[in-house]
């Protein structure tokens, strides 16, 4: 019986476990019978049923279950065929040949692993053993090639391990030499650093001395400038006092002049009043003088006329006397 037929029988056996009554279809609740036979929990069984139920009818036939198991489930979990998936079950189905026990299979596996040397060198002992058992059950003809491959892998691992140990020894020796060389370089570097540090310290001391001298000279110059500024300040203070005194004198003189101005303004007002009175009096005198002149002129005219009349009378009288 070939592996494909065995796998189909395994899938059909799973289906029959879900449909013990022979209804010809299974539902989601029937898949709970697979727990313990396939490495899927409730959520994964829900996802499995949704994947297999293409028509979303809520039930699966044997053909749908088998076809979906081969195409969808194996591809989803990365298995090449349902046989590989069923090889991962928690509780294997009836895959062990009649008359053969698990103890004998484990004993033979241990002998093979010891003979090839893979039992000591390989880390994934359980996984290799599971593959060996699966090949022994599904396709025993491949076991010699698989055991030969294990022996080749073990030999290669031994070679690599030997090379690794030799390389590790060489690296350790080289590391020790480099460590000694680095130690010598470190001592030389420390000596150079010490010399450089002393040189830098001497340069710093020289710079510090020069800087101290420069700062001392600058401080002395600042002190001289400060003394000069202090003298200038004293002179300015004296000048300010003099100006303040002059200002006070000016204020007093201003007050005196202000008072004198008030007096002069009052005197001027009095003078202006007297002048106005004089002007009025003069105008009155001038008016009176004009009137007097007019009166005198009139009187003189009358007098002249009288004199002229009297003269004429006298002339007539003289003429008469002649």
Domain-embedded: residue 8: yes
Give the model's pLDDT for residue 94: 38
Give the model's pLDDT for residue 215: 92
Going by C-alpha positions, the residue among 84, 15, 49, 130 that lies closest to residue 40 is 49
Q: Which residue ranges in the chain fall short of pLDDT 70?
A: 1-7, 20-21, 35-39, 69-126, 136, 139-141, 143, 322
Give the model's pLDDT for residue 56: 79
The domain total for the chain is 1
Domain-embedded: residue 14: yes
Domain-embedded: residue 318: no
Domain-embedded: residue 61: yes
Domain-embedded: residue 57: yes
Give the model's pLDDT for residue 14: 78
CA angle, 139 as apex, 133 and 142 as ends, to 5°?
90
Phi, psi dihedrals of residue 2, rounded to the nearest 5°? -80, 175
Give the model's pLDDT for residue 179: 85
Give the model's pLDDT for residue 160: 79
Give the model's pLDDT for residue 235: 92
CATH number at residue 60: 1.10.238.10
Q: How many CB atoms are closer than 10 A to CB 133?
A: 19
Domain-embedded: residue 33: yes
Residue 56, domain extent? 1-76
Domain-embedded: residue 68: yes
The span from the CA of 291 to the CA of 242, in Å, is 70
pTM of model > 0.85? no
Domain-embedded: residue 53: yes
């Amino acid at each position: 019986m070939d592996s494909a037929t065995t796998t189909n029988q395994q899938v059909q056996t799973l289906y029959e476990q879900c449909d013990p009554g022979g209804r010809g279809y299974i539902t989601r609740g029937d898949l709970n019978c697979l727990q313990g036979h396939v490495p899927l929990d409730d959520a994964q069984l829900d996802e499995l049923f949704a994947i297999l139920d293409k028509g979303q009818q809520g039930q699966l036939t044997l053909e749908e279950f088998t076809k979906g198991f081969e195409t969808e489930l194996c591809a989803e979990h990365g298995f090449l065929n349902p046989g590989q998936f069923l090889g991962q079950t928690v509780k294997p189905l009836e895959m062990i040949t009649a008359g053969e026990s698990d103890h004998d299979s484990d004993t033979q596996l241990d002998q093979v692993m010891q003979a090839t040397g893979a039992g000591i060198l390989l880390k994934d002992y359980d996984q290799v053993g599971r593959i060996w058992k699966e090949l022994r059950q599904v396709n025993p003809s491949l076991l010699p090639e698989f055991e030969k491959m294990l022996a080749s892998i073990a030999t290669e691992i031994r070679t690599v391990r030997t090379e690794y140990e030799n390389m590790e020894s060489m690296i350790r020796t080289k590391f020790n030499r480099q460590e000694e060389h680095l130690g010598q370089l470190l001592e030389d570097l420390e000596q150079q650093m010490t010399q450089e540090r002393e040189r830098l310290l001497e340069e710093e001391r020289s710079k510090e001395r020069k800087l101290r001298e420069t700062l001392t000279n600058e401080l002395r110059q600042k002190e001289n400038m400060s003394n000069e500024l202090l003298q200038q300040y004293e002179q300015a203070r004296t000048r300010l006092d003099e100006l303040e005194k002059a200002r006070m004198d000016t204020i007093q003189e201003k007050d005196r002049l202000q008072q004198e101005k008030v007096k002069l303004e009052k005197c001027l007002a009095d003078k202006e009043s007297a002048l106005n009175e004089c002007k009025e009096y003069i105008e009155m005198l001038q008016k009176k003088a004009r009137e007097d002149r007019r009166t005198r002129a009139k009187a003189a005219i009358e007098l002249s006329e009288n004199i002229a009349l009297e003269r004429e009378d006298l002339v007539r009288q003289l003429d008469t006397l002649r």
